């Protein structure tokens, strides 16, 4: 079970780029890294997923170094509405090892200030 | 809108009672997951069903049980309720199966259970 470690909280200001790093030292070869966002009283929402190098979509980028022992979620030009909890999950659901990706941990509380 | 529907949105009941929470997954999703979120415990994985069968079990109490029906909707039954069971209960669904990629989880907006 790949355990993840994230900062408990981060603060930023509107318009800045925010980078949240997740450590996963015992990630397995076929594990994917997935990030979710959660607003108060709502279910988590999928942001981005990757296996290696870099993935980018319309809301975020995910950077994964060659050793894959960590990953960084990058949010460009954050706004007040990006204030939320961000979770990093690691696992491979396709066959066999499904459990890692099911455990969300405490996540990182990102607060964006005006 | 995630496409996952949970009912009821709110539930208030007394200790010792039994309640049933219902979840309808996204169209086409075969897996259903249940999570409990309380202030002091964070988001806790309870159980997963895939196409009607239990696939993974997390920190689910013996007083709790779940099932997934042939139409793929799922129910979470909580019995002998205690004050500490007050929490948000989320259902999520995903395609799963033998895909080449990891399909993400899609969450409903939860059922807020208050035990008095």
Long-range contacts of B105-108 (CB under 8 A, 24+ apart): B105/A36, B105/A44, B105/A46, B105/B33, B106/A46, B106/B2, B106/B3, B106/B4, B106/B25, B106/B26, B106/B29, B107/A42, B107/A43, B107/A44, B107/A45, B107/B2, B107/B4, B107/B35, B108/A43, B108/B2, B108/B4, B108/B5, B108/B6, B108/B23
- The model's pLDDT over B25-60, given as tens digits with 9 standing for 90+, comes to 999 899 899 999 998 778 898 999 989 999 888 889
- Does B98 sit within 8 Å of A107, measured CB to CB? no
- The model's pLDDT over A45-102, given as tens digits with 9 standing for 90+, comes to 999 999 889 999 999 999 999 999 999 999 999 999 999 999 998 876 655 445 556 7
In chain A, residues with a C-beta closer than 8 Å to the C-beta of B107 are 42-45
Q: Does B40 touch chain A (CB under 8 A)?
A: no
- Does B98 sit within 8 Å of A94, measured CB to CB? yes
CB-closest option in A32, A45, A105 to B107: A45
CB-closest option in A38, A95, A102 to B45: A102
CB-closest option in B2, B45, B100 to A43: B2
């Amino acid at each position: 079970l790949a355990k993840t470690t994230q900062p408990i909280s981060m603060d930023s200001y509107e318009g800045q780029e925010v980078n949240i790093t997740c450590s996963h030292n015992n990630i397995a070869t076929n594990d994917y890294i997935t990030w979710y966002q959660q607003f108060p009283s709502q279910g988590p929402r999928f942001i981005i997923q990757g296996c290696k190098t870099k993935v980018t979509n319309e809301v975020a980028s995910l950077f994964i170094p060659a050793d894959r022992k960590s990953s960084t979620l990058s949010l460009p030009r954050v706004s007040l509405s990006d204030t939320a909890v961000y979770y990093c999950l690691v696992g491979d659901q396709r066959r066999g090892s499904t459990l890692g990706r099911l455990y969300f941990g405490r996540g990182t509380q990102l607060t964006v200030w005006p | 809108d995630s496409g996952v529907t949970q009912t009821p949105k709110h539930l208030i009941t007394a200790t010792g009672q039994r309640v049933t929470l219902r979840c309808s997954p996204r169209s086409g999703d075969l897996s259903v997951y249940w999570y409990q979120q309380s202030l002091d415990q964070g988001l806790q994985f309870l159980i997963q069903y895939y196409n009607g069968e239990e696939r993974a079990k997390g920190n689910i109490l013996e007083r709790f049980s779940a099932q997934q029906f042939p139409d793929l909707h799922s129910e979470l039954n909580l019995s002998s309720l205690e004050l500490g069971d007050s929490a948000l209960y989320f259902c999520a669904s995903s395609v799963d199966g033998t895909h080449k990629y990891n399909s993400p989880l899609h969450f409903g907006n939860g059922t807020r259970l208050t035990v008095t």
